[in-house]
A and B are shown apart, each in its own frame.
Chain A
Amino acid sequence: MHIQLTINKKLYDLQLKGHETLLEVLRDQLSLTGTKSACQESECGTCTVIINGKAVLSCISLAANLDGAEIRTIEGLADGDVLHPVQKAFVEQGSVQCGFCIPGMIMSATALLEKNPTPTQTEVEYALDGNICRCAGYPKIFDAVHAAGKEMKEQQG
């Protein structure tokens, strides 16, 4: 079957068999390997992407079921070689350790901050509760989210 997906503002025409998850399409068919996979059971969050402004798990999304959808992955955040405020904050605040959780974590954080650039600490914790960081760099991840939010609010205002 034939579907269309807009990924990072680019339109893709895809021939699918029907059983492919969005994650398989991203990584295996389109070589967008920024989105990761660590559990295949919707627990770890490394496969997080943004669809319609919401953070969702691509490993349990059936690609064929998303015909016409607009999808954003980690590869689509930076503007040319200018990092998105969330990416920039993660580098500056020391939030990056092994990095495997980071693409998913950044997508969840971006979804939160685009809706609410000044979340409370509790709101940040809840927004990221689907993303495991095994290096457990949470304190610095929280710092980065708050810092990025501030910058995004300034850019808005």
Chain B
Amino acid sequence: MLLNPLTLHSPKTVSEAAKLYKELEDVKVLAGGTFLLNSLKLLKTKGTKTSKNILSLAQVDELKGMRADAHGLTIKAMTSITEIFESPLLVDNFQIIRTVCRNISTTPIRNMASFGGNLTCRYTWTEMPVVMIALNATMYFMSPQGAVSQISAEDFFKNNARSEHLFTHVVIPRETQARLVYRRVRKMSEVDQPLLTLCVKTTLPEKQWTKTRIVINTGSAFAQRDYQLEEFLNGKDLSSTLGQEALDHLTTTIYDTRSNEYKQHMFRVCLRQAIEGICTSN
């Protein structure tokens, strides 16, 4: 017996799921299961009690899939990472999501893992947060009463990824002129958990950095923006030295708190390369 006894609840609609999420005591949500099942097994081996109620979203078809229109892309919570990776809807600024998906874990995990899980699981090191914040995504939730609420991804993570309601989908505004770079640096000795992830986004009307977002994830805190660096970059012309200059305008506490020397070094290398990349390829 690898898991503690549990009761599986399998609602068929979002509203049913949202209701159960509030009503059930001692409940965990089962989306892709790639985090939850490992966690349940590990806690059992340590003798820790685990949640009695498991709320599975596997049969909630309303939570599966993606759709796009002229204004934006919708990704629903139960879409698997592989489905997102293979989606023909990832054009314009959404292309960066394919890069992110490619670098998440391994193939069978990608086949099982859900978008919602990677975004809202509250492990600080997952990959989707930085890119959702960079893309200015809006996250949607459903209350037990069926009311829909929304919050920007940025604010969601400022609030330490806490929510009482069931996450249902994101809507990402389409920006045909946006330029994005995503970097994920692996820890040498580990397969899954990255050393750091970051995403740089800007638009370049008249070849000047505008509406820049620099989103950083150190793995030890939730994804956040470096406003100081963004301010420095906004209004700057494209130049091959901009990346190097930018390094003098970092909010160093973001990068250097609880980071070893190598991590601090890699942040600077990745940022510089990302900024240079955007400058030189446009």
Q: Do A and B associate with each other? A: yes
B41 contacts which chain A residues (CB < 8 A)?
Answer: 40-41
* Contact A42 to B8, CB < 8 A, known contacts A60-B33, A65-B30: no
Select the stretch in A18-26, A81-89, A90-98, A147-155 that faces chain B: A18-26
Give the docked Cα–Cα distance between A103 and B275 (Å): 45
CA distance A54 to B107 in the complex (A): 9
Q: In A53-68, which residues have CB < 8 Å from any B CB? A: 54-57, 59-62, 64-67
A130 near B: Cβ within 8 Å? yes
Residue of B nearest to A67 (CB): B10
Known contacts A40-B41, A60-B33, A62-B54; is A45 also within 8 Å of B6 by CB?
A: no
* Interface residue stretch chosen among B108-116, B164-172, B241-249, B265-273: B108-116
CB distance from B252 to the nearest CB of A (A): 35
Q: Is the CB of B8 within 8 A of A45?
A: no
A67 / chain B contacts, CB cutoff of 8 Å:
10
Return the chain A residue nearest B108 by Cβ. Answer: A130
Chain B 53-93: CB-based contact to A (< 8 A → 1; otherwise 0): 01010100000000000000000000000100000000000
A60 vs B42: C-alpha distance when bound (angstroms): 12
* Chain-B contact segment, one of A7-15, A72-80, A121-129, A138-146: A121-129
With A62-B54, A108-B107 known to touch, is A19 a contact of B37 (CB < 8 Å)? Answer: no
Verify B107–A129 contact, CB threshold 8 A: yes
Contact assessment for A65 and B56 in the assembled complex, using a CB-CB cutoff below 8 Å? yes
Report the count of interface residues on B (CB-CB < 8 A). 29
Q: Is the CB of B107 within 8 A of A128?
A: yes
Asked if A54 meets B38 with Cβ closer than 8 Å, knowing A62-B8, A62-B30, the reply is no
Asked if A43 is an interface residue, CB under 8 A from chain B, the answer is: yes
List CB contacts (< 8 Å) of B1-44 with chain A: 1-8, 10, 30, 33-34, 37-38, 41-42
Partner of A60, one of B38, B102, B106: B38
B182-205 at interface with A (beta carbon < 8 Å): 191
Residues of B within 8 Å of A108, CB to CB, are 107-108
Q: In this assembly, does A35 line the interface, its C-beta being within 8 Å of a C-beta of chain B?
A: no
Q: What A residues does B33 contact at CB under 8 A?
A: 60-62, 65
CB distance from A133 to the nearest CB of B (A): 13
Residue among B1, B2, B10 having the largest count of chain A Cβ atoms under 10 Å: B2
Q: Given the complex of chains A and B, what is the CA–CA distance between A129 and B111 in angstroms?
A: 12
A130's closest neighbor in chain B, by CB? B106
Report A-chain residues with C-beta under 8 Å of the C-beta of B109.
Answer: 42, 57, 130
What is the chain B residue whose CB lies nearest that of A55? B108
A118 on the B face (CB < 8 A): no
Q: Kindly list chain B residues whose C-beta atoms are within 8 Å of the C-beta of A17.
A: 5
B2 touches A54 (CB 8 A): no
Task: Give Cα distance in the complex from A21 to B102, angstroms.
Answer: 27
Q: Which of B8, B102, B107, B111 contacts A18 (CB 8 A)?
A: B8
> Quick one: closest A residue to B32, CB to CB?
A60
Q: Which chain B residues border A42 with CB–CB below 8 Å? A: 34, 37-38, 108-109
Could you tell me if B37 and A45 are in contact, using CB atoms closer than 8 angstroms?
no
Whole-angstrom CA separation of A60 from B38 in the bound complex = 7
Which B residues are CB-close (under 8 A) to A64?
Answer: 8
CA gap between A129 and B8 in the complex, in Å: 31
Contact of A127 among B4, B5, B42, B107 (CB under 8 A): B107
Which residues from chain B contact A43 at a C-beta distance below 8 Å?
Answer: 191
**Interface of A toward B, CB cutoff 8 Å:** 1, 17-21, 24, 40-43, 45, 48, 54-57, 59-62, 64-67, 108, 126-130
Q: List 26 A-B contacts (CB under 8 A).
A: A1-B8, A18-B5, A18-B8, A19-B1, A19-B4, A24-B2, A41-B38, A41-B41, A42-B34, A42-B38, A48-B108, A55-B111, A56-B108, A59-B37, A60-B33, A62-B3, A62-B33, A62-B54, A65-B33, A66-B58, A108-B107, A127-B107, A130-B105, A130-B106, A130-B108, A130-B109
